[in-house]
Structure formats: structure tokens, C-alpha cells
Structure 1
Amino acid sequence: MNINDFDFELPEELIAQTPLADRTSSRLLVMDRKSKTIEHRIFSDITSYLHPGDCLVLNDTRVLPARLYGSKQDTGAKIEVLLLHQQEADQWEVLVKPAKKIKEGSVISFGENKLVATCIDVKEHGGRILKFDYQGIFLEVLNDLGEMPLPPYIKEQLPDKERYQTVYAKEEGSAAAPTAGLHFTKELLESIRNMGVEIAFITLHVGLGTFRPVSVDSIDDHDMHSEFYHMSQETAEQLDRIRKNKGRIISVGTTSTRTLETIARDNDGNFTEASGWTDIFIYPPYTFKAIDGLITNFHLPKSTLIMLVSALAGQSFVLDAYHEAINQRYRFFSFGDAMLII
């Protein structure tokens, strides 16, 4: 398929710049794949579409305050660093701006030398490997000095770092939030459990490649980024039991979906305890092995995320729904409204 098959025009004013005060008050567009119908609801109405015996699968990754602002020690030049993923103790793959100023051996200071980084390797496209030196615990230093790595289309500041975390975030390691989960509160999740719907947790640490538009004309030529995932034995057994009892597995977010489909693909449609790196690229046509429904946000044009959604619901139906959402003035992207595909 061609990349232009997943393009659409979005008015800039529909890109949500700030989160709503009440997470559950976002709007919810419901797509029924069988009837090809669309409903407009509020996110708290999600309970109307869940049944006892279903299971919601949530990604419990936690976003690191991964954007750091420092200066080059020898020249004082201002440097921005974005942590991507940890390679080993105190060594991280990062993006730096301006990249041309940081060469192997360059030293960057953050927060009056509370954190000092030395470049030990140079990668392509602004990538660097930095070794960090500090006193104390790295995550505590990072929480003190770092900022949330909001996507570039969000121009507003975020006063409360926790608003870019899900309420169930636990496993540190993401460069971006699994944004479909931002709509849930602890109270809503408790109400869902009380309905007889199970909650399962997996981990996928979200990389920045998730949000990048595809730059090739033919999507078959796109190289997918890799992200680290983990599923526990407890979750695997829980999902196998749900499937055996004819319950629906509803994935919360494309990150959960990619994890579930990776594990099911590698295990003949079954679930098992697993950890590793996945570069699975889901686009039409694709036969889903793991999920029966999806809760997601509205995604960027020409992105791998809208391709995944199109693989589940059909490209023309998804674009129809997106045009309907634009006409109804839905809020788009990370802090925007939600979609349920069943």
C-alpha cells in the first residue's frame, strides 16, 4: 500500500495542547466493525461496551523525565539531550541538539554538575551514546533535572509531570506515554473490575519512533523501530484463561497491541511469559491473533499507528471515522480524545 492511503487533513487547532482536568471526560468515538456504525460518547461510557469475562490489557510503562538541558563544558554551548534507552549501567542512547556540537569525548554538564555526561560513541541522525556521572540514585537526579519529553506538536508547558503518566504507570523506561491509557482513573478501573471485567498488565517501553511519520512511498519499505517488552507468566496465564472462556481481549493502546501480537505471533496464537525487543509492523492486510478490540487515541497522518488501526477496522472505515471526528471537532493526538474499536 502507498503512504498516501493513510493521509488526511487535520486543522491545527484540533491538536490538543493540554490534558483535560478530568481524565474520563474526554470524548469517545465508538467504531463497530460488524455494523460499520459510529457512535459519539464520553470516555466514562466505556463501561457500556464491556462485558463480564472481558479483559482490558494495559501497558504499565512509566515515562522518564527524559529531556535534559545542559551546556558543553569547554564552550558553554547550550545542549538539549533526550534519553532514548539505557544500554547498560549509566550508559544511554540519546538524541542531542545541536548534534554537530557533540563529538566523541565531549562533556555536557546539567544542573551545575549534578549530572555530567561524556559522549563515548557517535551514531547517525543525532544519536549519541552518553556515559553519566552523578552522586546518589540516577532516577532521583533525573526527576530533579529532567522534563517530560512531550511530542513536538505540543507547544504548551505541562505543570504537573504526572498528567503525562497513566494512573497505573510503574515500570520506568519510556520516552513517551502510552496515551490511550491517560483516559483512565483509578475509580473508573475499579468500576470496570466490579463489572466482572479483568485487568491485565504488560510492559512496552515506548520509543520516539512510535510517533514518526513514515517517510517512504511504499509502506513495505519502512523500517520499524524496536521497543522493549515484557509479559509475566501471570498475565500470560490470565489471557489464555480469558480466551478459553470466550472472553474478549481488549487492548488499551497500540503499544499493548504490538506486544500482544508479537507474543501471539511467536507462539502459535498463544500467550507465554516473554521479554525482548519487538519491531512488529502491523498494517493492512493483517490477521490479528491476540486482540478482539482496541482503545486508542487519534493518530498522526501517515504514521504506523494509523496503519495499525486501519489493519483492525479497515482503512476506509478508519478514515471515514477520522473525518467524522474532525467534523465533530474531536481533540487529536496525545492529550486528545479516544476511540474504541469493537
Structure 2
Amino acid sequence: MTTDSSAPILSVRDVNKVYADGFRALNHINLDIRRGEIFALLGPNGAGKTTLISLICGIVKATSGTIFADGYNIVRDYRAARAAIGLVPQELHTDSFESVWATVKFSRGLFGKSPDAVYLEKVLRDLSLWDKRNAKIMTLSGGMKRRMLIAKALAHEPAILFLDEPSAGVDVELRHDMWRLVRKLRTQGTTIILTTHYIEEAEDMADRIGVINQGELIVVEDKEILMRKLGKKQLTLTLRQPLSRIPAGLNAWPLTLSDDGHALIYHFDAQKEESGIAALLRTLNQHGIDFKDLRSRESSLEDIFVSLVHQSKQEQT
């Protein structure tokens, strides 16, 4: 285990994955994950998210490059590296005829950990599975099975937890419980790496965001910095009297007119000073344009994600 708290807990260096048919699933991936952070890896279907996780967890072998988990090379020191990782996969793979308790107990022993009934009870209680500890997995609901996978991944007390689409098939209440647990794990020092199609969850949970598309990491950035850098703001002014066109004197402003002419829409960078709005309103007044309402909206992480992926596709074609 790495003793330097400033060193990345996970380090991916120039990793490539090319399959026998020539398909390049990952292309020169370089990524450092900070100890104790929640990192969201976003990307469209087939972008390479699950492939990258599979490489880090030793399920798939990289064509080239090196990966270190908690200071251990995942090829040379496979057992030690894998013991530092807990994986919650997308698919529900586990022995359906075993009980919940037997499954988490076996998983802990599989990684060479001594029995610890107190710890396993805590994990199951945190996941609202304690009452189901003697139930066979085949009898659990889909949401409970998803929780079961998380309990199994946590059984050996990993320093790194991968959550690959953890919200898939989980209802809203269970999802909220799950994210409360994730936050609690982070406060206890566990590093969380998640993939999700619910981008609003990544916006709410993550410290940093990575976006992958067609096997390439196109951005890795602190969430707040990413939102400031790439976010846009939109001010919509509902007019008292509709316009047929934008007056020539307003051409210098980045304005668009709604289709029905009842609203002017002003677009500006989120990181720029908003004092320009006051100047715009004065200019509208000078042109005799009055408004009865104004609403502002800031880009969401989903807006930024869609824009990044679209731009990446254009650059790669």
C-alpha cells in the first residue's frame, strides 16, 4: 500500500487496448485518480468506460501501458493490486442459491481477509440488507441484488471502489440510499470511481469529471472548474410587445429572437462578469424595447457533456 498520501491511488499510464480484429477500444489513456475523491467517468455507450475498468481490475489485459493501484502494478503485483479494489459491475453476476451472508463472508475470505462478522454486519446494515442476510440471492428484488453487489465489493475493505452504472434498475428511494452510502464511504477514505448515465448524479456527487469518447479521454477536470470553463449562461427576456426581427442597433449583442417573437435570448459565458446584462438592459430601453419577465439558466453538466462528445465526434471524423 502506498504511504504517500499525496500520490495518486490509481495511475494509468499510456494504456492501449487493441483487440485481435484490430478494433482499438482504448487509445493512449493517461489518468491519475486522487486518494479519497469521487471521480465520475462519463461517456456514451461503447466509449470505453467498462473496458478501462476491466483493465484496471485485471479482468482484461492491456495491449500496452502500465497501471498502478494503491502503489501496486496490476500485472506484476496482481493479487495485492486487486485486493485494493472493489468492483460493482453492471451485470448481476453472483451465486443465486447462496445466502446474502454466505456471499459476503466468502468474498471477504477470497481476498485473504480474516473473518470479521462485526464489519460485515455494518456493511449489510448500511445497505439495508441486514434483514435479508439469510435470504437466498435469487429471492431478492433487482434493487436489492444491486445492493448485494455493493456489499460483496466492500466485503474485503478495498481502498478503491468502482461503481459501473450502479443506478441501473434501482428505484429512486434505493438510489438515494446508495448515494448516501457513497458519500459516507468517501468520508471514511474510500476512493470512488463511478460511471453513470444519470449525469445529474455525477454533477451532484463527483469531485472530478472525466469524459471518454471512442476510446480517448477528451477531458479530465475538477467539476467546478469544468462548469466554469465550459458552462454557458442564458438570459431569456419575455417582451411586452413581440418583435418581427432584432433591431440593427442590437447586432453587436449575442441575441436570438424566439420563433414567436415574444422573447429575446441572450447567451454569455458563465465565467464572464455579468455586468454586461445591465448594459444590455439599458440598450434595450434606449431602443424602446420593454420586457415583463426575465429568467436565467446555467449550463448543466449534461449540456457540457453533450457538447464535448459532439465536438469530439466532429474532430475524429
Fold shared per TM-score above 0.5: no
Higher gyration radius (CA): 2
**Shorter-chain TM-score: which interval?**
under 0.3
Which structure shows the bigger proportion of residues in helix conformation? 2
Please give the TM-score of this superposition, normalised by the length of structure 2: 0.26
Please give the TM-score of this superposition, normalised by the length of structure 1: 0.25
